[in-house]
Structure 1
Amino acid sequence: MRVHPVDLGEGVRAFFTLSSGGVSPAPWAPETGGGLNLGLNVADDEARVRENRARVSERLGAPVAFANQVHGDAVLVLGAAERAAWAATEPPGSAGDADALVTDQAGLGLGVLVADCVPVLLADPVAGVVGVVHAGRKGLAAGVVHRALDAMTARGAELSRVRAAVGPAVCGRCYEVPEAMRAEVAAAVPESWATTDAGTPGLDLPAGVLAQLAARGVEAVHVERCTRTDGELFSHRRATEAGTTTGRQAGVVTLLS
Protein backbone atom coordinates (compact mmCIF):
# COMPACT_ATOMS: atom_id res chain seq x y z
CA MET A 1 0.00 0.00 0.00
CA ARG A 2 1.40 3.39 -1.03
CA VAL A 3 0.49 6.37 1.13
CA HIS A 4 1.50 10.01 1.38
CA PRO A 5 2.95 10.44 4.90
CA VAL A 6 3.00 13.81 6.67
CA ASP A 7 5.00 14.93 9.70
CA LEU A 8 2.78 16.27 12.47
CA GLY A 9 5.34 15.94 15.24
CA GLU A 10 6.91 13.43 17.56
CA GLY A 11 4.53 10.79 18.84
CA VAL A 12 2.06 11.31 15.98
CA ARG A 13 1.62 9.15 12.88
CA ALA A 14 -0.36 10.53 9.94
CA PHE A 15 -0.81 9.94 6.23
CA PHE A 16 -3.14 10.27 3.26
CA THR A 17 -4.13 7.12 1.38
CA LEU A 18 -4.19 6.75 -2.40
CA SER A 19 -6.69 4.81 -4.50
CA SER A 20 -4.65 1.59 -4.79
CA GLY A 21 -3.47 -1.07 -2.36
CA GLY A 22 -6.78 -2.71 -1.48
CA VAL A 23 -9.20 -5.36 -2.70
CA SER A 24 -11.96 -3.37 -4.42
CA PRO A 25 -12.52 -3.84 -8.18
CA ALA A 26 -13.47 -1.18 -10.71
CA PRO A 27 -15.10 1.32 -10.48
CA TRP A 28 -13.70 1.62 -6.92
CA ALA A 29 -10.16 1.11 -8.17
CA PRO A 30 -7.61 2.71 -10.49
CA GLU A 31 -6.98 1.11 -13.89
CA THR A 32 -4.33 -1.15 -12.33
CA GLY A 33 -6.98 -2.67 -10.00
CA GLY A 34 -6.78 -3.38 -6.28
CA GLY A 35 -8.73 -0.34 -5.15
CA LEU A 36 -8.36 0.92 -1.59
CA ASN A 37 -11.91 2.23 -1.31
CA LEU A 38 -12.64 3.18 2.31
CA GLY A 39 -16.20 4.46 1.86
CA LEU A 40 -19.13 2.35 2.99
CA ASN A 41 -21.77 4.40 1.15
CA VAL A 42 -20.62 4.13 -2.48
CA ALA A 43 -22.17 0.72 -3.33
CA ASP A 44 -18.93 -1.25 -2.87
CA ASP A 45 -19.20 -4.59 -1.06
CA GLU A 46 -19.02 -4.00 2.71
CA ALA A 47 -16.66 -6.93 3.29
CA ARG A 48 -14.18 -5.45 0.82
CA VAL A 49 -14.38 -2.03 2.45
CA ARG A 50 -13.81 -3.60 5.88
CA GLU A 51 -10.71 -5.35 4.52
CA ASN A 52 -9.45 -2.08 3.03
CA ARG A 53 -10.01 -0.28 6.32
CA ALA A 54 -8.21 -3.07 8.17
CA ARG A 55 -5.19 -2.57 5.91
CA VAL A 56 -5.14 1.13 6.69
CA SER A 57 -5.45 0.45 10.42
CA GLU A 58 -2.55 -1.98 10.22
CA ARG A 59 -0.41 0.58 8.41
CA LEU A 60 -1.34 3.28 10.95
CA GLY A 61 -0.82 0.99 13.92
CA ALA A 62 -4.23 1.76 15.44
CA PRO A 63 -7.94 1.13 14.75
CA VAL A 64 -9.42 4.03 12.78
CA ALA A 65 -12.72 5.72 13.64
CA PHE A 66 -14.74 7.40 10.90
CA ALA A 67 -17.77 9.70 11.13
CA ASN A 68 -20.86 9.85 8.95
CA GLN A 69 -19.92 13.07 7.17
CA VAL A 70 -22.85 15.39 6.49
CA HIS A 71 -21.22 18.61 5.18
CA GLY A 72 -21.76 20.53 8.41
CA ASP A 73 -19.62 21.94 11.21
CA ALA A 74 -20.26 19.43 14.02
CA VAL A 75 -17.31 17.95 15.91
CA LEU A 76 -17.32 14.64 17.76
CA VAL A 77 -14.82 14.17 20.59
CA LEU A 78 -13.91 10.50 21.02
CA GLY A 79 -12.62 9.08 24.29
CA ALA A 80 -11.75 5.80 25.97
CA ALA A 81 -15.11 4.15 25.22
CA GLU A 82 -14.78 4.84 21.52
CA ARG A 83 -11.19 3.60 21.50
CA ALA A 84 -12.39 0.33 23.00
CA ALA A 85 -15.20 0.09 20.42
CA TRP A 86 -12.90 0.63 17.46
CA ALA A 87 -10.37 -1.84 18.82
CA ALA A 88 -13.02 -4.59 18.59
CA THR A 89 -12.90 -7.12 15.78
CA GLU A 90 -16.05 -5.73 14.12
CA PRO A 91 -16.07 -1.95 14.74
CA PRO A 92 -19.24 0.08 14.14
CA GLY A 93 -19.60 1.80 10.79
CA SER A 94 -19.64 5.36 12.06
CA ALA A 95 -18.88 7.38 15.17
CA GLY A 96 -21.95 9.49 14.40
CA ASP A 97 -22.94 12.46 12.24
CA ALA A 98 -20.07 14.97 12.14
CA ASP A 99 -17.47 16.47 9.85
CA ALA A 100 -14.65 16.59 12.37
CA LEU A 101 -13.28 14.21 14.97
CA VAL A 102 -10.98 14.98 17.90
CA THR A 103 -9.34 12.75 20.49
CA ASP A 104 -6.70 12.80 23.22
CA GLN A 105 -6.62 9.01 23.34
CA ALA A 106 -3.37 7.37 22.28
CA GLY A 107 -3.89 4.30 20.13
CA LEU A 108 -7.13 5.51 18.50
CA GLY A 109 -6.90 6.52 14.87
CA LEU A 110 -9.13 9.18 13.36
CA GLY A 111 -10.06 9.14 9.69
CA VAL A 112 -11.65 11.57 7.23
CA LEU A 113 -13.09 10.30 3.92
CA VAL A 114 -12.86 12.34 0.72
CA ALA A 115 -13.06 12.18 -3.05
CA ASP A 116 -12.68 15.90 -3.92
CA CYS A 117 -13.37 17.66 -0.60
CA VAL A 118 -10.44 18.73 1.57
CA PRO A 119 -9.08 16.35 4.22
CA VAL A 120 -7.36 18.14 7.11
CA LEU A 121 -5.20 16.44 9.75
CA LEU A 122 -4.39 18.29 12.99
CA ALA A 123 -2.10 17.56 15.93
CA ASP A 124 -0.65 19.14 19.04
CA PRO A 125 1.97 16.53 19.95
CA VAL A 126 2.82 18.26 23.23
CA ALA A 127 -0.74 18.30 24.56
CA GLY A 128 -1.47 14.92 23.00
CA VAL A 129 -4.52 15.97 21.00
CA VAL A 130 -5.26 15.16 17.35
CA GLY A 131 -8.12 15.83 14.98
CA VAL A 132 -9.40 15.37 11.44
CA VAL A 133 -11.67 17.59 9.37
CA HIS A 134 -13.80 17.03 6.27
CA ALA A 135 -13.90 20.46 4.62
CA GLY A 136 -16.30 20.49 1.73
CA ARG A 137 -17.88 23.60 0.31
CA LYS A 138 -20.62 23.83 2.93
CA GLY A 139 -18.46 22.83 5.87
CA LEU A 140 -15.73 25.30 4.96
CA ALA A 141 -18.22 28.15 4.83
CA ALA A 142 -19.84 27.01 8.08
CA GLY A 143 -16.49 27.08 9.90
CA VAL A 144 -15.84 23.38 10.51
CA VAL A 145 -12.08 24.01 10.60
CA HIS A 146 -12.53 26.56 13.38
CA ARG A 147 -14.87 24.25 15.31
CA ALA A 148 -12.27 21.47 15.23
CA LEU A 149 -9.53 23.79 16.47
CA ASP A 150 -11.82 25.01 19.26
CA ALA A 151 -12.47 21.42 20.33
CA MET A 152 -8.74 20.75 20.42
CA THR A 153 -7.95 23.83 22.50
CA ALA A 154 -10.71 22.86 24.93
CA ARG A 155 -8.65 19.72 25.58
CA GLY A 156 -5.37 21.46 26.18
CA ALA A 157 -4.00 22.10 22.70
CA GLU A 158 -2.34 25.43 21.98
CA LEU A 159 -2.78 26.88 18.52
CA SER A 160 0.86 27.93 18.35
CA ARG A 161 1.82 24.24 18.66
CA VAL A 162 -0.83 22.74 16.40
CA ARG A 163 0.46 21.34 13.13
CA ALA A 164 -1.85 20.81 10.18
CA ALA A 165 -1.70 18.87 6.93
CA VAL A 166 -4.10 19.84 4.14
CA GLY A 167 -4.46 16.87 1.83
CA PRO A 168 -5.27 16.21 -1.83
CA ALA A 169 -8.51 17.79 -3.06
CA VAL A 170 -10.01 19.23 -6.22
CA CYS A 171 -8.17 22.45 -7.05
CA GLY A 172 -9.63 25.83 -7.94
CA ARG A 173 -8.65 25.44 -11.60
CA CYS A 174 -10.88 22.33 -11.83
CA TYR A 175 -13.75 23.02 -9.43
CA GLU A 176 -16.35 24.79 -11.54
CA VAL A 177 -19.46 26.07 -9.74
CA PRO A 178 -22.32 28.45 -10.53
CA GLU A 179 -21.52 32.13 -10.06
CA ALA A 180 -24.00 32.44 -7.19
CA MET A 181 -22.40 29.54 -5.35
CA ARG A 182 -18.94 31.02 -5.70
CA ALA A 183 -20.20 34.32 -4.34
CA GLU A 184 -21.94 32.63 -1.41
CA VAL A 185 -18.89 30.66 -0.28
CA ALA A 186 -16.47 33.52 -0.90
CA ALA A 187 -18.63 35.81 1.22
CA ALA A 188 -17.71 33.58 4.18
CA VAL A 189 -14.20 32.61 3.03
CA PRO A 190 -12.84 35.17 0.53
CA GLU A 191 -9.73 33.13 -0.20
CA SER A 192 -11.87 30.40 -1.78
CA TRP A 193 -12.78 32.60 -4.77
CA ALA A 194 -11.34 31.08 -7.95
CA THR A 195 -11.57 31.00 -11.72
CA THR A 196 -11.20 27.69 -13.54
CA ASP A 197 -8.87 26.98 -16.44
CA ALA A 198 -11.93 27.37 -18.67
CA GLY A 199 -12.47 30.90 -17.36
CA THR A 200 -15.63 29.97 -15.45
CA PRO A 201 -16.50 30.57 -11.78
CA GLY A 202 -14.68 28.22 -9.43
CA LEU A 203 -13.87 27.53 -5.81
CA ASP A 204 -10.46 26.85 -4.32
CA LEU A 205 -11.34 24.95 -1.16
CA PRO A 206 -7.72 24.14 -0.16
CA ALA A 207 -6.87 27.84 -0.32
CA GLY A 208 -9.83 28.58 1.92
CA VAL A 209 -8.76 25.97 4.47
CA LEU A 210 -5.17 27.21 4.48
CA ALA A 211 -6.39 30.78 5.03
CA GLN A 212 -8.55 29.74 7.99
CA LEU A 213 -5.66 27.84 9.57
CA ALA A 214 -3.31 30.79 9.06
CA ALA A 215 -5.85 33.14 10.63
CA ARG A 216 -5.67 31.02 13.80
CA GLY A 217 -1.87 30.94 13.75
CA VAL A 218 -1.67 27.26 12.78
CA GLU A 219 1.31 26.07 10.74
CA ALA A 220 0.22 23.93 7.80
CA VAL A 221 1.69 21.85 5.02
CA HIS A 222 -0.26 21.40 1.79
CA VAL A 223 -0.18 18.23 -0.29
CA GLU A 224 -0.79 19.89 -3.65
CA ARG A 225 -2.39 17.08 -5.62
CA CYS A 226 -5.66 17.69 -7.48
CA THR A 227 -8.09 14.79 -7.21
CA ARG A 228 -9.82 15.76 -10.45
CA THR A 229 -6.68 15.23 -12.54
CA ASP A 230 -4.57 12.79 -10.50
CA GLY A 231 -5.24 9.18 -11.53
CA GLU A 232 -3.83 7.88 -8.24
CA LEU A 233 -6.71 9.47 -6.33
CA PHE A 234 -10.48 9.01 -6.24
CA SER A 235 -12.55 11.91 -7.60
CA HIS A 236 -16.32 12.13 -7.36
CA ARG A 237 -16.38 14.89 -9.96
CA ARG A 238 -14.26 12.92 -12.44
CA ALA A 239 -16.39 9.80 -11.94
CA THR A 240 -19.64 11.70 -12.35
CA GLU A 241 -18.43 13.19 -15.61
CA ALA A 242 -17.66 9.64 -16.78
CA GLY A 243 -21.11 8.41 -15.74
CA THR A 244 -19.89 6.08 -13.01
CA THR A 245 -19.15 5.99 -9.28
CA THR A 246 -15.88 5.90 -7.38
CA GLY A 247 -14.33 5.20 -3.98
CA ARG A 248 -13.13 7.29 -1.08
CA GLN A 249 -9.59 7.83 0.11
CA ALA A 250 -8.76 9.04 3.60
CA GLY A 251 -6.53 11.12 5.77
CA VAL A 252 -5.71 9.35 9.04
CA VAL A 253 -3.88 10.32 12.22
CA THR A 254 -3.14 8.74 15.59
CA LEU A 255 -1.26 9.44 18.79
CA LEU A 256 1.25 6.65 19.25
CA SER A 257 0.84 4.58 22.41
Structure 2
Amino acid sequence: MRIRRVITTREGGRSQPPFDSFNLGGRVGDDPAAVAANQRRLAEGIGLTEDRLVWMEQIHGRTATIVTGPQPGAVEATDALVTAEPNLALVALTADCVPVLLGDPVAGVVSAVHAGRVGARVGVLVAALRAMQEAGAELGRIEALLGPAACGKCYEVPADMQADVDKHLPGSACRTRRGTPGLDLRAGLWEQLAAAGIGRIGVDPRCTLESPELYSHRRDRGRTGRFASVVWMDPEEEGREA
Protein backbone atom coordinates (compact mmCIF):
# COMPACT_ATOMS: atom_id res chain seq x y z
CA MET A 1 0.00 0.00 0.00
CA ARG A 2 0.98 3.60 -0.53
CA ILE A 3 0.56 6.64 1.69
CA ARG A 4 -1.12 9.50 -0.15
CA ARG A 5 -1.00 13.09 1.10
CA VAL A 6 -2.57 16.31 -0.15
CA ILE A 7 -2.32 19.87 1.18
CA THR A 8 -4.77 22.33 -0.33
CA THR A 9 -4.40 26.08 -0.90
CA ARG A 10 -7.00 28.83 -0.82
CA GLU A 11 -7.33 28.94 -4.61
CA GLY A 12 -9.95 27.49 -6.95
CA GLY A 13 -13.08 27.27 -4.80
CA ARG A 14 -16.51 28.85 -4.40
CA SER A 15 -16.14 30.93 -1.24
CA GLN A 16 -16.36 34.73 -1.38
CA PRO A 17 -14.05 37.19 0.43
CA PRO A 18 -12.73 37.09 3.09
CA PHE A 19 -12.87 33.28 2.72
CA ASP A 20 -11.83 33.28 -0.92
CA SER A 21 -11.92 30.87 -2.31
CA PHE A 22 -11.27 27.22 -1.42
CA ASN A 23 -12.23 27.39 2.25
CA LEU A 24 -12.92 23.94 3.70
CA GLY A 25 -13.77 24.98 7.27
CA GLY A 26 -17.44 24.85 8.15
CA ARG A 27 -17.30 26.79 11.41
CA VAL A 28 -15.65 30.06 10.36
CA GLY A 29 -18.68 32.05 9.18
CA ASP A 30 -18.53 31.15 5.48
CA ASP A 31 -21.59 30.36 3.35
CA PRO A 32 -22.41 26.67 4.06
CA ALA A 33 -23.29 26.06 0.42
CA ALA A 34 -19.87 27.30 -0.70
CA VAL A 35 -18.10 25.15 1.92
CA ALA A 36 -20.11 22.08 0.84
CA ALA A 37 -19.18 22.71 -2.80
CA ASN A 38 -15.51 23.06 -1.85
CA GLN A 39 -15.60 19.84 0.16
CA ARG A 40 -17.14 18.00 -2.79
CA ARG A 41 -14.42 19.40 -5.04
CA LEU A 42 -11.74 18.17 -2.65
CA ALA A 43 -13.16 14.64 -2.74
CA GLU A 44 -13.40 14.68 -6.53
CA GLY A 45 -9.89 16.09 -6.83
CA ILE A 46 -8.30 13.24 -4.89
CA GLY A 47 -10.39 10.57 -6.60
CA LEU A 48 -12.60 9.56 -3.68
CA THR A 49 -16.30 9.85 -2.98
CA GLU A 50 -17.34 12.54 -0.53
CA ASP A 51 -18.30 10.03 2.16
CA ARG A 52 -14.68 8.79 2.25
CA LEU A 53 -13.51 12.08 3.76
CA VAL A 54 -13.43 12.11 7.57
CA TRP A 55 -13.49 15.48 9.32
CA MET A 56 -12.84 16.51 12.92
CA GLU A 57 -14.55 18.83 15.35
CA GLN A 58 -11.19 20.25 16.39
CA ILE A 59 -11.08 21.67 19.92
CA HIS A 60 -7.33 22.15 20.62
CA GLY A 61 -7.20 19.06 22.84
CA ARG A 62 -5.22 15.84 22.89
CA THR A 63 -7.84 13.25 21.98
CA ALA A 64 -6.96 10.82 19.17
CA THR A 65 -9.84 8.83 17.68
CA ILE A 66 -9.59 5.60 15.68
CA VAL A 67 -12.15 5.39 12.87
CA THR A 68 -12.98 2.27 10.89
CA GLY A 69 -15.24 3.65 8.18
CA PRO A 70 -17.18 6.68 6.90
CA GLN A 71 -18.66 8.97 9.55
CA PRO A 72 -22.10 10.64 9.56
CA GLY A 73 -20.51 13.99 10.41
CA ALA A 74 -17.36 15.48 11.86
CA VAL A 75 -15.90 13.28 14.59
CA GLU A 76 -16.73 15.08 17.80
CA ALA A 77 -14.19 16.68 20.11
CA THR A 78 -10.98 15.25 18.68
CA ASP A 79 -7.74 16.65 17.27
CA ALA A 80 -6.30 13.49 15.74
CA LEU A 81 -7.79 10.78 13.57
CA VAL A 82 -6.32 7.33 12.97
CA THR A 83 -7.45 4.59 10.60
CA ALA A 84 -6.34 1.32 9.05
CA GLU A 85 -9.13 1.46 6.46
CA PRO A 86 -7.87 1.87 2.87
CA ASN A 87 -9.14 4.85 0.89
CA LEU A 88 -10.52 6.54 3.99
CA ALA A 89 -9.10 10.06 3.89
CA LEU A 90 -8.46 11.82 7.20
CA VAL A 91 -8.59 15.63 7.19
CA ALA A 92 -6.96 18.21 9.45
CA LEU A 93 -8.02 21.85 8.97
CA THR A 94 -5.60 24.63 9.87
CA ALA A 95 -4.77 28.30 9.39
CA ASP A 96 -1.54 28.71 11.45
CA CYS A 97 -1.63 25.54 13.61
CA VAL A 98 0.54 22.61 12.53
CA PRO A 99 -1.08 19.80 10.52
CA VAL A 100 0.81 16.53 10.97
CA LEU A 101 0.29 13.65 8.53
CA LEU A 102 1.52 10.25 9.68
CA GLY A 103 1.58 6.84 8.03
CA ASP A 104 2.94 3.31 8.42
CA PRO A 105 2.90 1.93 4.86
CA VAL A 106 3.48 -1.64 6.00
CA ALA A 107 0.63 -1.80 8.50
CA GLY A 108 -1.56 0.46 6.39
CA VAL A 109 -2.25 2.83 9.28
CA VAL A 110 -2.48 6.62 8.84
CA SER A 111 -3.23 9.61 11.03
CA ALA A 112 -4.08 13.29 10.57
CA VAL A 113 -3.28 15.54 13.52
CA HIS A 114 -4.27 19.13 14.31
CA ALA A 115 -1.46 20.42 16.53
CA GLY A 116 -1.94 24.01 17.58
CA ARG A 117 -0.11 25.64 20.46
CA VAL A 118 -2.45 24.19 23.09
CA GLY A 119 -2.75 20.75 21.53
CA ALA A 120 0.98 20.45 20.91
CA ARG A 121 1.67 21.50 24.49
CA VAL A 122 -0.66 18.86 25.97
CA GLY A 123 0.57 16.02 23.77
CA VAL A 124 -1.87 15.49 20.91
CA LEU A 125 0.91 14.12 18.68
CA VAL A 126 1.94 11.61 21.34
CA ALA A 127 -1.70 10.53 21.64
CA ALA A 128 -1.89 10.03 17.87
CA LEU A 129 1.23 7.86 17.85
CA ARG A 130 -0.21 5.71 20.64
CA ALA A 131 -3.48 5.29 18.76
CA MET A 132 -1.55 4.31 15.63
CA GLN A 133 0.25 1.62 17.61
CA GLU A 134 -3.10 0.41 18.91
CA ALA A 135 -4.24 0.12 15.29
CA GLY A 136 -1.18 -1.95 14.35
CA ALA A 137 1.49 0.56 13.39
CA GLU A 138 5.11 0.38 14.50
CA LEU A 139 6.89 3.59 15.46
CA GLY A 140 10.03 2.74 13.53
CA ARG A 141 8.05 2.45 10.27
CA ILE A 142 5.99 5.62 10.59
CA GLU A 143 6.64 8.43 8.12
CA ALA A 144 5.70 11.98 9.16
CA LEU A 145 5.02 15.24 7.37
CA LEU A 146 4.78 18.52 9.28
CA GLY A 147 2.64 20.79 7.14
CA PRO A 148 2.52 24.56 6.61
CA ALA A 149 2.15 26.59 9.81
CA ALA A 150 3.13 29.85 11.46
CA CYS A 151 6.93 29.90 11.49
CA GLY A 152 9.05 30.83 14.48
CA LYS A 153 10.18 34.07 12.86
CA CYS A 154 6.55 35.24 12.78
CA TYR A 155 4.92 33.57 15.79
CA GLU A 156 5.45 36.10 18.57
CA VAL A 157 4.17 35.20 22.06
CA PRO A 158 4.63 36.51 25.62
CA ALA A 159 7.80 35.27 27.32
CA ASP A 160 5.89 33.34 29.99
CA MET A 161 3.84 31.53 27.34
CA GLN A 162 7.00 30.68 25.41
CA ALA A 163 8.61 29.22 28.54
CA ASP A 164 5.51 27.21 29.41
CA VAL A 165 5.15 25.67 25.95
CA ASP A 166 8.86 24.91 25.68
CA LYS A 167 8.73 23.14 29.05
CA HIS A 168 6.16 20.70 27.65
CA LEU A 169 7.37 20.74 24.03
CA PRO A 170 11.16 21.12 24.18
CA GLY A 171 12.74 22.76 21.17
CA SER A 172 9.81 25.03 20.39
CA ALA A 173 11.21 28.24 21.93
CA CYS A 174 12.81 30.65 19.48
CA ARG A 175 13.29 34.33 18.68
CA THR A 176 11.20 36.13 16.09
CA ARG A 177 12.78 38.26 13.41
CA ARG A 178 12.03 41.22 15.67
CA GLY A 179 14.12 39.63 18.42
CA THR A 180 11.09 38.93 20.62
CA PRO A 181 10.05 35.62 22.24
CA GLY A 182 8.56 33.24 19.72
CA LEU A 183 7.40 29.68 19.17
CA ASP A 184 8.42 27.31 16.42
CA LEU A 185 5.91 24.52 16.98
CA ARG A 186 7.19 22.49 14.05
CA ALA A 187 10.67 22.42 15.57
CA GLY A 188 9.26 21.17 18.87
CA LEU A 189 7.08 18.58 17.17
CA TRP A 190 10.04 17.42 15.08
CA GLU A 191 11.99 16.84 18.31
CA GLN A 192 9.01 14.97 19.76
CA LEU A 193 8.76 12.71 16.72
CA ALA A 194 12.49 12.00 16.72
CA ALA A 195 12.41 11.18 20.44
CA ALA A 196 9.59 8.71 19.77
CA GLY A 197 11.72 6.88 17.22
CA ILE A 198 10.23 8.31 14.02
CA GLY A 199 13.09 8.32 11.54
CA ARG A 200 11.46 9.72 8.39
CA ILE A 201 10.25 13.27 9.04
CA GLY A 202 9.48 15.77 6.31
CA VAL A 203 8.66 19.44 6.75
CA ASP A 204 6.69 21.68 4.40
CA PRO A 205 8.68 24.92 4.92
CA ARG A 206 5.87 27.33 4.10
CA CYS A 207 4.83 29.83 6.74
CA THR A 208 1.11 30.53 6.72
CA LEU A 209 1.59 34.19 7.63
CA GLU A 210 4.05 34.69 4.76
CA SER A 211 2.33 32.58 2.08
CA PRO A 212 -0.66 34.37 0.50
CA GLU A 213 -1.90 31.11 -1.06
CA LEU A 214 -2.61 29.78 2.45
CA TYR A 215 -5.06 30.88 5.12
CA SER A 216 -3.67 32.51 8.26
CA HIS A 217 -5.75 33.30 11.32
CA ARG A 218 -3.11 35.72 12.63
CA ARG A 219 -2.41 37.52 9.37
CA ASP A 220 -6.09 37.88 8.50
CA ARG A 221 -7.10 38.92 12.04
CA GLY A 222 -9.30 35.92 12.69
CA ARG A 223 -11.61 36.36 9.71
CA THR A 224 -10.42 33.71 7.30
CA GLY A 225 -10.89 30.17 6.03
CA ARG A 226 -9.10 26.89 6.58
CA PHE A 227 -6.97 24.77 4.26
CA ALA A 228 -6.89 21.00 4.48
CA SER A 229 -4.11 18.50 5.03
CA VAL A 230 -5.31 15.05 3.98
CA VAL A 231 -3.82 11.57 4.33
CA TRP A 232 -5.05 8.15 3.24
CA MET A 233 -3.80 4.69 2.29
CA ASP A 234 -4.05 3.78 -1.37
CA PRO A 235 -4.35 -0.01 -1.72
CA GLU A 236 -3.09 0.06 -5.29
CA GLU A 237 0.44 -1.00 -6.13
CA GLU A 238 3.21 1.51 -5.41
CA GLY A 239 4.17 1.57 -9.06
CA ARG A 240 0.97 3.34 -10.04
CA GLU A 241 1.56 6.95 -11.06
CA ALA A 242 0.46 9.50 -8.45
User: With structure 1 as the length reference, what TM-score do the two structures score?
Assistant: 0.87
Residue in 1 that maps onto 2:173: 193
The Cα of 1:60 is off from its aligned counterpart by 2.2
Residue in 2 that maps onto 1:249: 227
| 1:21 counterpart = 2:12 | yes
- Aligned counterparts, 1:23-38, within 5 A: 23-29=14-20, 35-38=21-24
State the distance in 2 between where 1:155 and 1:103 align: 7
State the distance in 2 between where 1:27 and 1:67 align: 23
The Cα of 1:246 is off from its aligned counterpart by 0.6
Deviation per CA, 1:154-204, whole angstroms, max 9, x where unpaired? 111011111011100000000011111001101111200011111111100
Q: Percent identity?
A: 47
Preserved CA contact (<8 Å) 2:22 2:38: yes
Equivalent position amino acid for 2:65 in 1: L
- Aligned counterparts, 1:1-257, within 5 A: 10-29=1-20, 35-62=21-48, 63-80=52-69, 83=70, 85=71, 92=73, 94-218=74-198, 219-240=200-221, 245-257=223-235
Preserved CA contact (<8 Å) 2:148 2:204: yes
Q: Count residues in correspondence.
A: 231
Equivalent position amino acid for 1:238 in 2: R
User: With structure 2 as the length reference, what TM-score do the two structures score?
Assistant: 0.93
Residue in 2 that maps onto 1:7: none
* 3-state DSSP of counterpart to 2:171: helix
State the distance in 2 between where 1:61 and 1:215 align: 35
Equivalent position amino acid for 2:63 in 1: A
* 3-state DSSP of counterpart to 1:25: coil
Preserved CA contact (<8 Å) 1:66 1:110: yes
State the distance in 2 between where 1:171 and 1:204 align: 6
The Cα of 1:61 is off from its aligned counterpart by 2.5
* 3-state DSSP of counterpart to 2:42: helix
Q: CA RMSD in A?
A: 1.1
